């Protein structure tokens, strides 16, 4: 069947009228049935006729699958109220950023649910905030000549669920040279555009908020003019974004090399900490965190910004007819990254041509969920046989280490590229643009690969710290990073174990509440907390291929032996899942992820048909099926039970 569903979620105590009359009648009927049966966990099948009359067809009790921690209605009601109050504050004007209103989303900018899930435990959530979204993201943007939005953070937690402050994100994508009044007008317009087109919530940098100049900028200007912008205003917007983008391309190679050198400093400092005679783990973790931000996250964030711009420029070259879709895909496949190198090394390791120690030394720090202490790294996964020799395919072996194929395509289009650069006012040359694109994509992946070495060591040190106190990984996942690093400057009390036990027990109950909450993917009003429709996913399809096969639902705790010819399901993916590309998989489907996300880049690099960021409705339907047809050409997903 072709997937097409509408799902609405309504908080039991929601008092306001709903948007349509049949829904109000249905809720009223459900409440009446609950009162008659004196039971409120019901599965009700119903039908509605043309006069909005409700017919109850079947009523069954719902059985909860998890009674480990019971939650009272009072707990849940109080949490909903607190979330609404907190959200209301986020929609008020801020003294630090521009914009008269706001939106909160799971996926815009830095895609937290892809990296830490929509219900992360306290350690993962606090690490993501500490390392990235508290201030490092803003510092990186300002160094790229965008507006400095500090001290506003990028991400907030609503009942333990991560949400991006879209207004703060959009502010950080405004050129520092654009006037204040025009900046605010552009931000308000972009927020309203996303509100009217919520399906773009995971594609804001490509389809919603201007963040660079591209070869299709004229159509974006037309959209602004049709929305009430003056020609003088669009001229200023064009000038500022063109200058920012042109300067980045012209200085690209020099800037990229400068930021890559930070990763060498990061390694030197990590080695010093690793070999330090000071064995106070909170002190070591605090140092690793600082270095990870300064010499890892910030340079990586800058390179990631460059890579987004590179992808936007490439896509608009396709849109303007310079490249065909096939040439675009071939070009990306011929830009080698650490992923293609990993794929080759894994094949060598499995064939006995690379010893275990060397493989672990290079890749042992990776883990399927980079911020989750319970997700084992590659070093530990080796013991579980995840990398055991089975049917593999060395995707990318034909191009790894060479840009020959990409350069051949580029050279064949050089006259048209030179013309389009000149027509748009760029002073950057075609060679500078080629270097910018082909250097930023590998540099971004290199940066992620390097800073996760610090992140892995942080998690392993915290594991050791917990072990000394009698706590396992699961226990420590409930301790926030702040509670650990405070002992870098404060001597631990004699009752630290008791303190941690109380914290763990409290956070377990909080986490049960977090998991029971359902919130919209995009919040455009505090009222959405109590009543909303699940967003229909608009997947980012990679390649134009059509494949079908059985489904393997992958998770960090699973130990699949055979992925050959299977369509792999992953909720959210980061570098730790790159090992799947050493198997002969048929395709890939993820619940979360944008068109510029890690897995989108990987799938394009290896020419694997994929649907990235399907959303809740589609992903949950696929997860229940045994067989899937993934047609990226027609952009459809069909399932069979």
Catalytic residue annotation: 598
**Count of C-beta atoms within a 10 Å radius of residue 290:** 13
Which H helix or E strand runs over 155? strand 155-158
- The backbone torsions φ and ψ at residue 393, rounded to the nearest 5 degrees and listed phi first, read -135, 125
Q: What is the CA radius of gyration of the chain?
A: 25
For the beta sheet containing 567-570, the strands, ordered from the edge strand earlier in sequence to the opposite edge, are: 540-542, 610-612, 587-590, 567-570, 546-553, 627-631, 636-640
How far does Cα 371 stand from its chain's mean position?
A: 13
Going by DSSP bridges, is the β-strand pair 546-553/627-631 parallel, antiparallel, or unpaired?
A: antiparallel
Give the DSSP H/E element, type plus range, for residue 527: none
Q: Which of 220, 238, 283 is CA-nearest to residue 484?
A: 283
CA neighbor of 637 nearest in space, from 549, 557, 563, 552: 549
CA-based end-to-end distance of the chain: 9
Q: Render 439-488 in DSSP notation, one character per residue.
A: HHHHHHHHHHHHHHHHHHHHHHHHHHHHHHHT--HHHHTTS-HHHHHGGG
Cβ-contact 592, 574 below 8 angstroms: no
> With b meaning 16 or more CB within 10 Å and e meaning fewer, what string describes 207-245?
ebbbbbbbbbbeebbeebeeeebeeebbebbbebbbebb
Token couple for 245: 């983008």
Query: Nearest Cα to 524, choosing from 8, 110, 91?
Result: 91
Q: Which two tokens stand for residue 325?
A: 């879709």
CB 566 within 8 A of CB 549: yes
Query: What sign does the CA torsion over 167, 172, 176, 177 have?
Result: negative
Beta-bridge mates of residue 44: 59
- Structure token digits, residue 362: 């290079």
SS3 226: helix
Distance between CA atoms of residues 89 and 86, nearest Å: 5
- Eight-state DSSP code of residue 539: -
* Residue closest to 177 by CA, chosen among 199, 134, 144, 219: 144
- Tokens linked to 541: 């399809």
In sequence order, what DSSP letters do the residues of 560-621 get, joined into one string?
Answer: -S--TTPEEEESS--GGGGGGGGB---EEEESS--TTSHHHHHHHHTT--EEE--HHHHHHH
């Amino acid at each position: 069947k072709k997937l097409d569903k509408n799902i609405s979620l309504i908080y039991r105590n929601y008092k306001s009228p709903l948007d349509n009359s049949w829904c109000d009648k249905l809720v009223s009927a459900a409440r009446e049935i609950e009162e008659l049966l004196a039971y409120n966990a019901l599965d009700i099948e119903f039908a509605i006729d043309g006069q909005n009359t409700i017919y109850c067809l079947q009523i069954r009790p719902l059985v909860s699958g998890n009674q480990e921690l019971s939650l009272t209605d009072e707990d849940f009601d109080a949490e909903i109220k607190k979330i609404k109050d907190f959200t209301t504050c986020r929609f008020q004007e801020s003294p630090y950023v521009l914009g008269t209103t706001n939106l909160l989303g799971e996926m815009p900018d830095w895609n937290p649910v892809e990296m830490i899930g929509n219900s992360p435990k306290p350690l993962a959530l606090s690490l993501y905030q500490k390392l990235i979204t508290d201030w490092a993201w803003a510092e990186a943007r300002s160094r790229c000549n965008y507006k400095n939005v500090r001290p506003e953070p990028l991400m907030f937690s609503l009942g333990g669920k991560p949400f991006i402050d879209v207004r703060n994100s959009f502010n950080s994508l405004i050129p520092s040279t654009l006037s204040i009044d025009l900046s605010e007008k552009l931000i308000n317009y972009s927020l309203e555009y996303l509100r009217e087109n919520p399906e773009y919530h995971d594609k804001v940098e490509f389809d919603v908020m201007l963040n660079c100049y591209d070869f299709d900028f004229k159509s974006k200007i037309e959209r602004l003019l049709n929305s009430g912008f003056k020609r003088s205003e669009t001229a200023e917007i064009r000038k500022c974004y063109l200058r920012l983008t042109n300067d980045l391309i012209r200085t690209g190679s020099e800037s990229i090399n400068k930021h890559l050198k930070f990763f060498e400093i990061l390694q030197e400092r990590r080695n010093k900490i690793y070999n330090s005679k000071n064995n106070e783990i909170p002190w070591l973790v605090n140092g690793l965190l600082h270095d990870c931000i300064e010499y890892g996250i910030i340079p990586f964030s800058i390179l990631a910004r460059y890579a987004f711009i590179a992808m936007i420029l490439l896509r608009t070259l396709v849109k303007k007819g310079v490249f065909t879709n096939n040439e675009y895909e071939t070009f990306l496949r011929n830009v080698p990254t650490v992923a293609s190198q990993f794929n080759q090394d894994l094949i060598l390791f499995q064939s006995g041509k690379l010893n275990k120690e060397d493989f672990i030394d290079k890749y042992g720090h990776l883990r399927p969920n980079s911020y989750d202490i319970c997700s084992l790294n590659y070093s530990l996964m080796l013991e579980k046989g995840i990398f055991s020799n089975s049917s593999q395919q060395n995707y990318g072996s034909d191009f790894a280490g060479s840009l020959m194929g990409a350069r051949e395509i580029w050279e064949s289009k050089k006259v048209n590229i030179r013309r389009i650069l000149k027509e748009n006012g760029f002073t950057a040359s075609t060679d500078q643009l080629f270097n910018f694109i082909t250097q930023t994509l590998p540099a971004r992946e290199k940066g992620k690969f390097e800073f996760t070495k610090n992140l892995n060591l942080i998690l392993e040190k915290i594991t050791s710290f917990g072990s000394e106190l009698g706590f396992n990984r699961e226990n420590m996942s409930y301790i926030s990073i702040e509670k650990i690093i405070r002992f870098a400057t404060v001597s631990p009390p004699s009752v630290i174990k008791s303190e941690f036990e109380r914290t763990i027990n409290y956070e377990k109950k909080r986490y049960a509440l977090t998991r029971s909450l359902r919130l919209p993917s995009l919040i455009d009003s505090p009222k959405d907390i109590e009543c909303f429709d699940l967003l229909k996913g608009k997947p980012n399809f990679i390649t134009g291929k059509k494949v079908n096969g059985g489904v393997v639902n992958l998770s960090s705790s699973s130990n699949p032996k055979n992925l050959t010819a299977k369509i792999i399901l992953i909720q959210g993916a980061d570098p730790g899942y790159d090992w799947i590309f050493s198997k002969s998989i048929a395709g890939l489907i993820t619940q979360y992820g944008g068109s510029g996300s890690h897995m989108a880049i990987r799938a394009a690099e290896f020419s694997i048909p994929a649907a990235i960021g399907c959303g809740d409705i589609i992903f949950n339907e696929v997860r229940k099926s045994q067989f899937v047809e993934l047609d990226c050409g027609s952009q459809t997903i069909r399932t069979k039970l």
